[in-house]
A and B are shown apart, each in its own frame.
Chain A
Amino acid sequence: MAAAAHETQPATQHHTTMGIDNRKVLMWIFLASECLFFGALISTYLIFKGDSLVGPYPKEILNIPVTSASTFVLLMSSLTMVLAVYGAQHGRLGMMKVMLLATVLLGIGFLGFQAYEFTEFVHEGLGLTTNQFGSSFFVLTSFHGAHVTVGVLYLLSLLLASNRRTGLGHDRALHIDLAGLYWHFVDVIWIVIFTIIYLIPN
């Protein structure tokens, strides 16, 4: 920008020390913070493993086939997210929008599975306050679900904004990329949660 100093000197945009956009650095550091958030929730789950004084106990109630299906849905949403980022970076706006929509729908699908699972558990007698398993399970998975919900709203907002006359502007690829980082993170966290709660024998 030095050559154009007599025109304008932008205050905050464009030039950065590392050559990476500020927003991207922010997202990476934010996700580091989120790791500790989920780390603490997962630790709590592990600490209370086997501490339930009354049932239902995990092995009586966890429905691994159904949750495998919902995990598959969320994994597929990461694939469509990758394709949306590709579309945004290569100027293929149609592909970007379709893939954003697909990611949103898959995300809603995952949330649907979670709503079904929660309802089933309550019917079978496992509530938030039933035992330590119920408390730590519901708090952990519902905060993950809340992150998916925020992700769905985030992607939906981008989809709506991309249909404006001005679209997503010249930072289009960055906006989709940032949402992608967040979405993949939430997906990876689910893989950890799925492994720890459902797959490792109780």
Chain B
Amino acid sequence: MATAIGAMTHTEEDYGLWSWLTTVDHKRIGAVYTVAGFLFFLVGGLEAVAVRTQLAVPNGTVLDAESYNQFFTMHALTMIFLAIMPMGAGFFNYFIPLQIGARDVAFPRLNALSLWIFLGGGLLLNSSFFLGGAPNGGWFGYAPLSSIEYAKTSGMTFYVVGLLTLGVSTLIASLNFAVTIINMRAPGMSMMRLPVFIWMVLVVAFLLILSLPVLTVGLLQLYFDRVWGTSFFSPATGGDPILWQHIFWIFGHPEVYVLILPSMGIVSEVLPVMSKKPLFGYSAIVFAGAAIGVLGFGVWAHHMFTTGLGPVPQVVFSASTMAIGIPTGIKIFNWLGTMYGGNIRFVTATYFSVAFIAMFTIGGISGVMHASPPVDGHHQDSYFVVAHLHYVLFGGAIMGIFSGLFYWFPKMSGRMLDEGLGKITFWLMFVGMNLTFFPMHFLGLAGMPRRIYRYDADLGWETWNMVATLGSYTIALSVFIFLINVIKTMRKDKDAGDDPWGGATLEWATSSPPPAHDFDVIPEVRDRDPLWHDRDHGIARAAVPEHNHIHMPPPSYFPLIVALGALLLAVGSMTHLSVLGLGVVICIYGVWGWALEPTD
């Protein structure tokens, strides 16, 4: 099956279903990740709209308490694990090899495996809606809300098994990305010449590699509590519900940076190109990113100030949480410095990036407020926290991802998204998100708790709740217009060319979309902004050798088989040991076939 693709014949490609199921091409895998992540984003968005509709007026009747619990839990799980992370992973897959000048990731088949396990895990988690009820104990799954006494449906078991499955997928992908970035760089691409986006991916990969195993242990313990009758987290028999909170947030806080750092990387790519200036303070932004990664492991207990940690831990975690604001602030000034004095092109990608800075700053500042235990005690479990986290995750992560979608869509599809529709999308989304989430600050300070499914009319919360609900409809409209934009764009001819933005990084040095082997000749890197450097110094792109036979890894169906085995393992752990055993056998068969499969 090995195919040698001539340098000039980019069209010999197979787009049948089987070719997608067996692909090991990082670009195809990245595209599937992005599309799947976006579809889950729509699902999570609809769940949010249902929640907001229920809360629009006092004593809403759209959802009952049980379905409300399922909807807000699944909204969070979907957005975090099935939308933001996979859309990030889509960009990582697509652009790591292109930006570091490689032909693929370090382990193309592992890459396919992580994709299939992710899809299986996402479908498994969502199938719970039709199999006795979705998870209903919040994405944080606090004991005893997650324990069998209080969560009697199989929902929280789906939560445990679904997150374990997704965790395996994410761990595999993170290992792959880390090795690729460390070990697959083009000649001359030193660490301090890596695009900032790649640096942020590297930090994210290590955050996940070191935090996911902790969540895995917590989930396994919860699994044993729920299915096998242990009592890790039930105090009546000697367990400790606070232990779950520690374990969960040792994962959960690094996870916050996992969600935001990719968008910080995207903004750091978009702003220099759109300002026609190199990034201001490259090393400062890189070290700030790494510092966020390191400090991110030392702040988890600020989620737990109200659990009675005692004065010393409160002081320590309060100080570390304030400290992590410093590298974050550095980055914000770097982005402003990049735009300052630049020749700025206000395209849609720029709009989203600038909005990212502003919105993320609001979310960051309300975050630092929670670093103070007395203030945190006032805000805990109120809508103020909901406002804060959505300014970080919607105003931050999602705005950054949309900036990336507009910036990289031409590279991925060969077509420019419509700028007019893009700006309508931006303004609707920008206004919509502020209408939705800013009033939640007021609601929180007025005492409205999180996660309640209805409220009485005489509490003074009606106006802002109605505003927030109208805002969420505005966001939904903006996403709808984005979809129209994508459909419209995909129906036109390819008009982007190799480098529509005058980009600085290597992905713009190949065709749009790139050939299967990415680069006809592996580029030589001489500067942090290699394309600008070569342009300014009149260095032409290396000529393509006459007989340029590039050997790409052949397609493989073993990742699909191993993923199927893993999925059966997951299903078996909830149903019957025979299914689990079958999963083990299929996994072993798949791994053996994988190991013995020739890759040359």
Question: Which A positions have Cβ atoms within 8 angstroms of B?
Answer: 5-13, 16-18, 20, 22, 25-26, 29-30, 32-34, 36-37, 39-41, 44, 47-48, 51-53, 128-129, 131-132, 135-136, 139, 143, 153, 157, 161
| CB-based contact B103/A12 at 8 Å | yes
Nearest-neighbor residue (CB-CB) of B546 within chain A:
A6
> Contact partner of B217 among A37, A48, A52, CB < 8 A?
A37
Nearest-neighbor residue (CB-CB) of A25 within chain B:
B179
Q: Does B106 contact A (CB under 8 A)?
A: yes
Asked, given contacts A6-B546, A32-B210, A36-B210, whether A128 binds B230 with beta carbons under 8 Å apart, the answer is yes
Q: How far, in Å, is A188 (CB) from chain B's closest CB?
A: 16
Nearest-neighbor residue (CB-CB) of A47 within chain B:
B243
A-B contact pairs, 20 of them (CB 8 A): A5-B545, A6-B545, A9-B522, A11-B550, A12-B105, A12-B106, A12-B107, A13-B599, A17-B184, A25-B179, A26-B106, A30-B175, A36-B210, A39-B214, A40-B217, A40-B250, A128-B224, A129-B230, A139-B221, A157-B592
Q: Does B538 contact A (CB under 8 A)?
A: no
Given contacts A128-B228, A132-B238, 9 further A-B contacts (CB under 8 A): A6-B547, A8-B551, A9-B548, A11-B103, A25-B182, A33-B210, A40-B247, A129-B231, A139-B230
Asked, given contacts A32-B209, A135-B230, A135-B231, whether A16 binds B553 with beta carbons under 8 Å apart, the answer is no
Q: Does B59 contact A (CB under 8 A)?
A: no
Asked, given contacts A33-B171, A36-B211, A128-B228, whether A16 binds B183 with beta carbons under 8 Å apart, the answer is yes
| CB-based contact A33/B175 at 8 Å | yes
Nearest-neighbor residue (CB-CB) of B236 within chain A:
A53
1/0 per residue, CB under 8 A from A, across B223-247: the answer is: 0100011111000011110010001
In the complex the two chains form, what is the Cα distance from A12 to B599 in whole Å?
10
In the complex the two chains form, what is the Cα distance from A40 to B247 in whole Å?
8
Enumerate chain B residues within 8 angstroms of A13, measured Cβ to Cβ.
Answer: 599-600
Enumerate chain B residues within 8 angstroms of A20, measured Cβ to Cβ.
Answer: 183
Nearest-neighbor residue (CB-CB) of A20 within chain B:
B183
| CB-based contact B104/A132 at 8 Å | no
| CB-based contact B549/A37 at 8 Å | no
Nearest-neighbor residue (CB-CB) of A50 within chain B:
B238
Q: How far, in Å, is B582 (CB) from chain A's closest CB?
A: 17
| CB-based contact B239/A132 at 8 Å | yes
| CB-based contact A40/B588 at 8 Å | no
Enumerate chain B residues within 8 angstroms of A36, measured Cβ to Cβ.
Answer: 210-211, 213-214
| CB-based contact B209/A33 at 8 Å | yes
In the complex the two chains form, what is the Cα distance from A49 to B437 in whole Å?
45
Asked, given contacts A22-B179, A33-B209, A135-B230, whether A40 binds B214 with beta carbons under 8 Å apart, the answer is yes
| CB-based contact B184/A29 at 8 Å | no
In the complex the two chains form, what is the Cα distance from A7 to B549 in whole Å?
7
> Contact partner of B220 among A9, A132, A139, CB < 8 A?
A139
Enumerate chain B residues within 8 angstroms of A37, measured Cβ to Cβ.
Answer: 213-214, 216-217
Q: Does B185 contact A (CB under 8 A)?
A: yes
Q: Does B432 contact A (CB under 8 A)?
A: no
1/0 per residue, CB under 8 A from A, across B248-286: the answer is: 001000000000000000000000000000000000000
Enumerate chain A residues within 8 angstroms of B182, measured Cβ to Cβ.
Answer: 17-18, 25
Q: Does B596 contact A (CB under 8 A)?
A: yes
Enumerate chain B residues within 8 angstroms of A52, measured Cβ to Cβ.
Answer: 238
User: How many residues of chain B are within 8 Å of chain A by beta carbon?
Assistant: 58
| CB-based contact B229/A129 at 8 Å | yes
From 277 to 314 in chain B, residues with beta carbon under 8 angstroms from any chain A beta carbon are: none
Nearest-neighbor residue (CB-CB) of A133 within chain B:
B238
Enumerate chain A residues within 8 angstroms of B104, measured Cβ to Cβ.
Answer: 11-12
Enumerate chain A residues within 8 angstroms of B228, measured Cβ to Cβ.
Answer: 128-129
In the complex the two chains form, what is the Cα distance from A154 to B450 in whole Å?
49
Enumerate chain A residues within 8 angstroms of B588, measured Cβ to Cβ.
Answer: 153
Nearest-neighbor residue (CB-CB) of A10 within chain B:
B551
Q: Does B517 contact A (CB under 8 A)?
A: yes
Asked, given contacts A5-B545, A44-B221, A161-B596, whether A11 binds B213 with beta carbons under 8 Å apart, the answer is no
In the complex the two chains form, what is the Cα distance from A48 to B232 in whole Å?
9
In the complex the two chains form, what is the Cα distance from A25 to B183 in whole Å?
8
Asked, given contacts A34-B213, A53-B238, A129-B231, whether A139 binds B183 with beta carbons under 8 Å apart, the answer is no
In the complex the two chains form, what is the Cα distance from A44 to B216 in whole Å?
13
Q: Does B375 contact A (CB under 8 A)?
A: no
| CB-based contact A12/B224 at 8 Å | no
Enumerate chain B residues within 8 angstroms of A53, measured Cβ to Cβ.
Answer: 237-238
Q: How far, in Å, is B586 (CB) from chain A's closest CB?
A: 14
From 156 to 184 in chain B, residues with beta carbon under 8 angstroms from any chain A beta carbon are: 171, 175-176, 178-179, 182-184
Nearest-neighbor residue (CB-CB) of A143 within chain B:
B220
Enumerate chain B residues within 8 angstroms of A39, measured Cβ to Cβ.
Answer: 213-214
Ranked 3 nearest A-B pairs via Cβ? A37-B213, A40-B217, A135-B230
Enumerate chain B residues within 8 angstroms of A128, measured Cβ to Cβ.
Answer: 224, 228-230
From 541 to 558 in chain B, residues with beta carbon under 8 angstroms from any chain A beta carbon are: 545-553
Q: Does B212 contact A (CB under 8 A)?
A: yes
**B104, B184, B189, B238: most-surrounded residue (chain A CB, <10 A):** B238
Q: Does B539 contact A (CB under 8 A)?
A: no
Q: Does B108 contact A (CB under 8 A)?
A: yes
Enumerate chain B residues within 8 angstroms of A48, measured Cβ to Cβ.
Answer: 238, 240
| CB-based contact B220/A26 at 8 Å | no
Asked, given contacts A6-B547, A129-B229, whether A29 binds B238 with beta carbons under 8 Å apart, the answer is no
In the complex the two chains form, what is the Cα distance from A200 to B224 in whole Å?
27
Q: How far, in Å, is A127 (CB) from chain B's closest CB?
A: 9
Q: How far, in Å, is B125 (CB) from chain A's closest CB?
A: 22
1/0 per residue, CB under 8 A from A, across B177-219: the answer is: 0110011110001000000000000000000011111101110
In the complex the two chains form, what is the Cα distance from A39 to B297 in whole Å?
14
Enumerate chain A residues within 8 angstroms of B210, measured Cβ to Cβ.
Answer: 32-33, 36
Enumerate chain A residues within 8 angstroms of B183, measured Cβ to Cβ.
Answer: 16-18, 20, 22, 25
From 569 to 597 in chain B, residues with beta carbon under 8 angstroms from any chain A beta carbon are: 588, 592, 595-596
In the complex the two chains form, what is the Cα distance from A8 to B189 in whole Å?
22
In the complex the two chains form, what is the Cα distance from A153 to B220 in whole Å?
23
| CB-based contact A22/B184 at 8 Å | yes
In the complex the two chains form, what is the Cα distance from A96 to B212 in whole Å?
36
| CB-based contact B213/A33 at 8 Å | yes
In the complex the two chains form, what is the Cα distance from A7 to B551 in whole Å?
10
Q: How far, in Å, is A196 (CB) from chain B's closest CB?
A: 16
Q: How far, in Å, is A118 (CB) from chain B's closest CB?
A: 15
**A8, A12, A36: most-surrounded residue (chain B CB, <10 A):** A12
In the complex the two chains form, what is the Cα distance from A18 to B190 in whole Å?
11
Nearest-neighbor residue (CB-CB) of B247 within chain A:
A40
Asked, given contacts A8-B549, A17-B183, A25-B182, whether A157 binds B595 with beta carbons under 8 Å apart, the answer is yes
In the complex the two chains form, what is the Cα distance from A37 to B522 in whole Å?
38
| CB-based contact B551/A26 at 8 Å | no
Asked, given contacts A17-B185, A32-B210, A157-B592, whether A132 binds B231 with beta carbons under 8 Å apart, the answer is yes
Nearest-neighbor residue (CB-CB) of A16 within chain B:
B183
| CB-based contact A12/B108 at 8 Å | yes
In the complex the two chains form, what is the Cα distance from A120 to B595 in whole Å?
39
> Contact partner of B107 among A18, A22, A41, CB < 8 A?
A22
Asked, given contacts A6-B545, A6-B546, whether A11 binds B179 with beta carbons under 8 Å apart, the answer is no
> Contact partner of A29 among B179, B212, B229, B596, CB < 8 A?
B179
Nearest-neighbor residue (CB-CB) of B240 within chain A:
A47
Enumerate chain A residues within 8 angstroms of B4, measured Cβ to Cβ.
Answer: 8
In the complex the two chains form, what is the Cα distance from A27 to B577 in whole Å?
30
